[in-house]
């Protein structure tokens, strides 16, 4: 049984941290919106890291440094080969410094002949003393999604607020894009923080984006002339896993 970041009964009006509790494919997995075959803008290829035991067990491991499981390693290999075939012109590979993202980026970098670049601004949303709790505990006992929907500065003890997480990741993405004008760049990061950042970047609020990428899915983001997704949650390369 595999768990994701979401359960439909938990947070029906939030960004989709609680979309599913177990099993099944992400309904957005086949969604692909390609606007044009040629893009002079900088294009960020956003990749969520491969699967971990925290994903399968339904446990929050935001800043906890969890390795990929066997399926996650295979996902990393698949997305690496897909990127090499589809985006051989990628100029750089940036990654969160947490090992589940580093290992995914390592596979992608090896496929492209590029050295991964560590960026701690790409880390997952840090829940402090609530790290390691199940999604059920976070929802039912701690009312996490209620708190972060109502208060952008709410932070569990030792953790960060949703405002801090969204601003941190947004700043990292913008800085990476600014450093590679007119190039295509791979960015490996995490589902929760990326969901909040997408809300902030595309809709002006971290609460507005209601979709979480699958493990080793990819999306394409541009910032100029306006922030826009060229594709979202592409998983063709993972179809038989």
Q: Looking at the annotation, which residues are catalytic?
A: 49, 124
With contact defined as beta carbons under 8 Å apart, do 237 and 81 qualify?
A: yes
Residue 39 CA to residue 41 CA, distance in Å, equals 5
- The count of other CB atoms within 10 Å of the CB of residue 109 is 23
Residue 121 CA to residue 127 CA, distance in Å, equals 15
Q: Kindly tell me the burial class for residue 191, based on how many C-beta atoms sit within 10 Å of its own C-beta (0-12, 13-18, 19 or more).
A: buried
Rounded (5°) CA angle 196-201-202: 100
Residue 24 CA to residue 28 CA, distance in Å, equals 12
């Amino acid at each position: 049984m595999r768990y994701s970041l979401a359960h439909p009964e938990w947070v029906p009006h939030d960004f989709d941290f609680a979309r599913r509790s177990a099993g099944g494919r992400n309904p957005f997995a086949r969604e692909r919106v390609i606007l044009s075959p040629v893009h002079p803008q900088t294009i960020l290829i956003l990749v969520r890291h491969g699967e971990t035991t925290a994903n399968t067990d339904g446990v929050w491991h935001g800043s906890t440094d969890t390795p990929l499981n066997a399926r996650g390693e295979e996902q990393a290999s698949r997305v690496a080969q897909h990127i090499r075939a589809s985006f051989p012109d990628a100029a750089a590979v940036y990654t969160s410094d947490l090992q589940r993202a580093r290992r995914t980026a390592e596979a992608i970098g090896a496929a492209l002949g590029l050295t991964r670049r560590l960026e701690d601004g790409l880390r997952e949303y840090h829940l402090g003393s609530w790290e390691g709790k199940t999604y059920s505990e976070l929802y039912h006992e701690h009312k996490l999604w209620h708190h972060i929907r109502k208060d952008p500065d709410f932070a569990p003890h030792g953790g960060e607020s949703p405002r801090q997480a969204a601003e941190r990741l947004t700043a990292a993405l913008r800085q990476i894009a600014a450093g590679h004008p007119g190039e295509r760049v791979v960015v490996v990061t995490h589902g929760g923080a990326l969901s909040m950042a997408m809300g902030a970047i595309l809709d002006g609020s971290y609460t507005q984006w209601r979709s979480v990428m699958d493990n080793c899915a990819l999306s394409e983001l541009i910032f100029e002339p306006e922030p826009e997704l060229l594709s979202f949650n592409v998983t063709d390369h993972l179809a038989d896993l």
